[in-house]
Amino acid sequence: MYRSVNSRTRRTIRARRARGPIAAGRSRPLGFTLIELLVVIAIIGVLAGMLFPVFAKAREMARKATCLSNVHQIALAMMMYADDYDGGYVPAQSPDNLMRWHGGRTSLDEPFDPKLGPLWSYLGNKDIKQCPSFSPDSVGGFEQGTGGYGYNAQYVGGSPLPWPAMCVPAKETQIADPSNTVMLTDTAFLDCEGNLFEYSFCEAPYYELWHSPADPSTHFRHNGMAVVAFCDAHVRAMPMAYTHSSGWCPYGEGMTPHTADDYRKAHLGFLGQDNSLYDRR
């Protein structure tokens, strides 16, 4: 009798083990409870909030690297041009307004075509002048076809003289300190309605000829940095040092001028408070 009861007990234990664990007379339900799912969703949300800004910053760093390469290639092309033209830099513009350093056009209402510009034989690639981080708010504009970069037209690609002598570029021998003289930067122009569009020139803080302030055009679009090429062709990213407003609204008769805060919010400014990084001295 004792052996029979003991045998039945062992068989019962084995059967329960085969069916799995039993709690309070019921087997444990499969899957997650609602609270467990909510906890997991909350954790994923927190991680996403932490990681997305990191991913965005990393993507912008990759774009800045492309931009640095683009500007360096353009600067090298400008130096090759100078070698071929007795040390004369590329003209920033022509008196008839049909040519810019980056392209040309056959009428004033057309975009600039890089194949018609003075650098085409040195670059042969229209995409080099396009900054990957710049998408203009306004299509067209008086400098359409520029891309994302601007040239030091006051001192390198031109001269601080009355028109049309203003279009005469500098000679290499006139630049006293090439490694500290700005040649090219990321640029954009803020129109009177608050739209950013393409602009061909990186303006110094002041117009030497008129002794008046210029509106900023260097665009600090790469996480607060702008890509800058100097006259010895070295390139680096630099932060905004200063900004101001000229106090008038170009190309918008009767409209309210932008303030310095408007330009700062648009990431437009200068590399210094005076013209010392831009001029020939």
CA 90 to each of CA 94, 165, 169, 259: distance values in angstroms, whole numbers, following the listed order: 11, 14, 7, 33
DSSP assignment string, 31-99: S--HHHHHHHHHHHHHHHHHHHHHHHHHHHHHHHHHHHHHHHHHHHHHHHHHHHTTTBPPPSB-TTS-E
CA neighbours closer than 13 Å in the CB half-sphere of residue 73: 20
Entry pTM: 0.80
Are residues 147 and 131 in contact, defined by beta-carbon separation less than 8 angstroms?
Answer: yes
pLDDT digits (tens, 9 = 90+) for 100-111: 999 999 998 888
For residue 265, the model assigns a pLDDT of 96
- Mean pLDDT value across the chain: 87
pLDDT at 4 over 80: no
pLDDT digits (tens, 9 = 90+) for 36-93: 777 778 888 777 677 666 556 677 678 889 999 999 999 999 999 999 999 999 999 9
Domain extent listing, the chain: 51-269
For residue 22, the model assigns a pLDDT of 47
Q: How far apart are CA 119 and CA 252, in angstroms?
A: 32
Q: What are the φ and ψ backbone dihedral angles of 99, each rounded to 5 degrees? A: -135, 140
For residue 62, the model assigns a pLDDT of 83
Q: Both tokens of residue 60?
A: 């912008």
pLDDT at 227 over 70: yes
